[in-house]
Amino acid sequence: MPRHLLTDFELMILLATLRVGDSAYGVPIATEIGRTGGRRVVVAAVYAALDRLERNGLVTSNVGEPTPERGGRAKRFFQVTPQGIRAVKETQRALVALWKGIPELKGGNV
């Protein structure tokens, strides 16, 4: 199976989806990226990335029940697939390998 290295945004989306857990849909994922990752994101960008990840088999989605506070519109819940988890780990390994042995990045804060 070919290696699938993720972009930084895809990696953030997958990690946020894993952190949120079973109730992961657009808003909590975007909120988690902003709260933990310190990056403000547009909700549409989250959906665009999740659509791409779903096409690549890294996440799956299912539609929930419509709720009144959403104007009667359903949520779309996302789950990371085993292939997605593998892609996260591979990306982490690649980044850590690149990190090692760089003198400028050793020590305290710059």
Partner 1 sequence: MTRGMSAPALWLLGHLAHRNEPLAGDLVEQFRGRRSSTWLWAQIVCAIAMGEFRHPRVPVALNLTPIDPIVAEWLISRRLTPRRVNLSSPGEGVGGLGLMMLGFLLSTVVPDVWWFVMGGIVCGVALGTMLAFRRRHQPMATDGRIHTGQLRDLFV
Chain residues binding partner 1 by CB under 8 A are: 25-27, 42-45, 47-48, 52, 63, 66-67, 69-71, 73-76
Helix (H) / strand (E) element for 75: namely strand 73-80
Of 76, 68, 97, 102, nearest to 5 by C-alpha is 97
Length of the chain: 110
Of the two residues 40 and 100, which places its CB atom closer to partner 1 in the complex?
A: 40
Of the two residues 57 and 66, which places its CB atom closer to partner 1 in the complex?
A: 66
Of the two residues 43 and 95, which places its CB atom closer to partner 1 in the complex?
A: 43
Tokens of 85: 């988890």
Minimum distance, C-beta of residue 87 to partner 1, in the bound complex (Å)? 18
Minimum distance, C-beta of residue 28 to partner 1, in the bound complex (Å)? 10
Return all residues near 98 (Cβ < 8 A) that are at least 6 apart: none
Of 29, 108, 37, nearest to 76 by C-alpha is 29
Minimum distance, C-beta of residue 66 to partner 1, in the bound complex (Å)? 8
